[in-house]
Amino acid sequence: MPVSIEDIRAAAEAIEGHVVRTPSVRSGPLSDDLGCELFLKLETLQRTGSFKDRGALVKLQALSDEEAARGVIAVSAGNHAQGVAAHAQRLGIPATILMPVGTPFTKIRRTQAFGAQVILHGETLNEAEPFAHEKAASEGLTFVHPYDDESIIAGQGTVALEMLEDIPDLDAILVPIGGGGIISGVATAVKAIDPAVEIIGVETEVYPAMHNAVRGDDAPVGGDTIADGIAVKSPGRLTREIVARLVDDLLLVAESSIEAAVQSLVTDAHVVVEGAGAVPLAAVRENRERFAGRRVGLVACGSNIDPRILSSILLRGMSRAGHLASLRISIPDQAGVLGRVAQVIGSVGGNIVETYHQRMFAHVPVKRAELDVVVETRDSGHAEQIVEQLRDAGFPTRLLTDEV
């Protein structure tokens, strides 16, 4: 067996005091909404915002003095890069991180801020990895794999020790799956301590790599996803064996469900997560009957979401919930009309967020104009009330939100 409960307990001792012992908290609003007792393991609170701190530290601590002096190299465009860089800096180990050339500047800067040398190479992680192995061999560096490594798996498994200590009577634990490092560690620990706890892995439908590997499927892998932290085309050799042996079930979730889960975690649980951190909640939302009445732990694995994506998700969620309405209003192109429109909207409690006055490029008569207005509303019924009020005031109006 590549990793044992003893390895994970040893890893927990090794990282104690050097990573955050994150809490497992019950979310009242999510529990009430979904009809189960829902607990969130907040790996979002790690220094680098991700569970990757754990495995990276265990791996770096396992290096010999000679290996540590020569340094390490890793391939990552996100959380693994920061976990390796942060602990390498603290331990005085030279670190080189290879990132694809299209990696967002914010991720490059964060990794460099931890003292790592960042090299941009290739268009994808798959293209960067062979170069990393060449560089490791030529310079005597130790390659730190993001998931297919015994030390990494043992480190990630410490998440489960803490969860079971905090909530000893869980019925199920849902864990995101990319390459399989964290679910391999969690499954190894949980099945050794309490085999009755159901371990469920969750992937996005766009990247069903572990499904394919374990179940012999050949579903397409690849595409756009907001769960970029688990956008892995091929799971590890060690991890797929552990998942096949110890994980009770694998679920796939739709991109729309992941987006809704990010929205719900922010607005209902007040927890900011990246897409990968939201897939366990997405799975519960898609399978409510299965988890109804049960005590369920969700690993919120990371918080490193692009602010622009988070902003878009929240605004789209407000629109779907009827809290934002986009209106197109036909008005006479005359002085004072904008003020009258604003007065009508305000009279029924609408709050104008932005406006766009279209004259030159709209297909309207020369003496008229179209006004696109985004209005904050209480709900969809309130939006309809505003539309009716505008129409009654002589301004033909339609809801653009309904046309999206």
Place of tokens 């927990």: 12
In this prediction, residues 122-130 reach a mean pLDDT of: 83
Asked whether 326 and 201 are in contact (CB, 8 A), the reply is: no
pTM of the model: 0.87
Distance CA(32)–CA(83), nearest Å, equals: 35
All structural domains of the chain, each given as residue ranges with its CATH number in brackets, are 1-321 (3.40.50.1100), 322-403 (3.30.70.260)
Each residue's pLDDT tens digit, 318-336? 877 778 888 998 888 888 8
Each residue's pLDDT tens digit, 134-158? 999 999 999 999 999 999 999 999 9
- Residue 364 pLDDT exceeds 70: no
219 CB-near residues (< 8 Å, 6+ apart): 208, 211, 212
Give the model's pLDDT for residue 361. Answer: 56
Each residue's pLDDT tens digit, 341-353? 989 999 999 999 8
Asked whether 378 and 323 are in contact (CB, 8 A), the reply is: yes
Angstrom CA distances, 42 to 20, 105, 134, 248, stand at 10, 26, 37, 23
